[in-house]
Chain A
Amino acid sequence: MSLTLVALIILSVLTAGMIFTFIRLLRGPSLPDRIVALDLLVTLLIGVIATYAILNDQSAFLDVAIILALVSFLGTVAFAYYIERRV
């Protein structure tokens, strides 16, 4: 299989995952469900960026993925802090 075909399959699977995660984000009965969905959405986005970087042979995109991973970790921690303060 060519690299392009593999990348396209990976991108479509990740997109399907993002759609289902987004449905969970919209419906999620409780706030923790939504926060986990948001974290998963960012993780899937990191996968999309990494695939795109391989597809276009652009290593610069990987730095975006690193920053996104670090910032989303901070965001999840901040949300957890907020939930803990609320109860």
Chain B
Amino acid sequence: MRGRSEILATAARYLMPLLIVFSVFLLLRGHNEIGGGFVGGLVASVAVVLYMIAEGVQAARDLLKIEPRLLIATGLLIALSSAVFAWVVNRPFMTGLWWKYPLPVLGKVGTPLLFDVGVYLAVMGTTLMILFTLAED
């Protein structure tokens, strides 16, 4: 391996928080406007990939702390749990339920948002698993 670039590492350090904030913004705005879990997950994985290019694969794995495979599983589980909520109140499976009172920052909260969070984690896990595997060759 060649030495790490200090310029890129510094740029990555400032760009990463920006990318993660932007990805969460896309995730939360997603239901009625442009954005959503898929794009948010892609932007979040771009943040980690930038760190991976700057500092190496092992550093990125240490930063993530959780295996990408586990991220996919958690995301799918959250997405499934959002569908089950409708059964509790005697409605058909996967009915979208919204909480009546909007929260200050998040806006309206409901099962579609939970589903989007699941998609976010699954997309992030898939992208990172592919790119980590490719970069380790």
Contact = CB atoms under 8 A, between A and B. Distances in A.
Interface string B1-13: 0100000100000
A71 B46 contact: yes
A74 B43 contact: no
A9 interface: no
Interface in B53-87: 53
Contacts of A60: 33-34
Given A63-B34, A71-B46, A81 B53 contact: yes
A49 B39 CA distance: 18
A66 interface: yes
B35 A63 contact: yes
Chain B's interface size range is: 10 to 19
Interface of A is mostly: helix
A57 interface: no
B22 A78 contact: no
Nearest to A84: B2
Contacts of B35: 63
17 contacts: A60-B33, A64-B34, A66-B22, A67-B22, A67-B39, A67-B43, A70-B15, A70-B19, A70-B43, A70-B46, A71-B46, A74-B46, A74-B49, A74-B50, A81-B53, A84-B2, A85-B2
The 7 closest A-B pairs by CB, nearest first: A60-B34, A81-B53, A74-B46, A77-B53, A74-B50, A63-B34, A84-B2
Interface of A: 60, 63-64, 66-67, 70-71, 73-74, 77-78, 81, 84-85
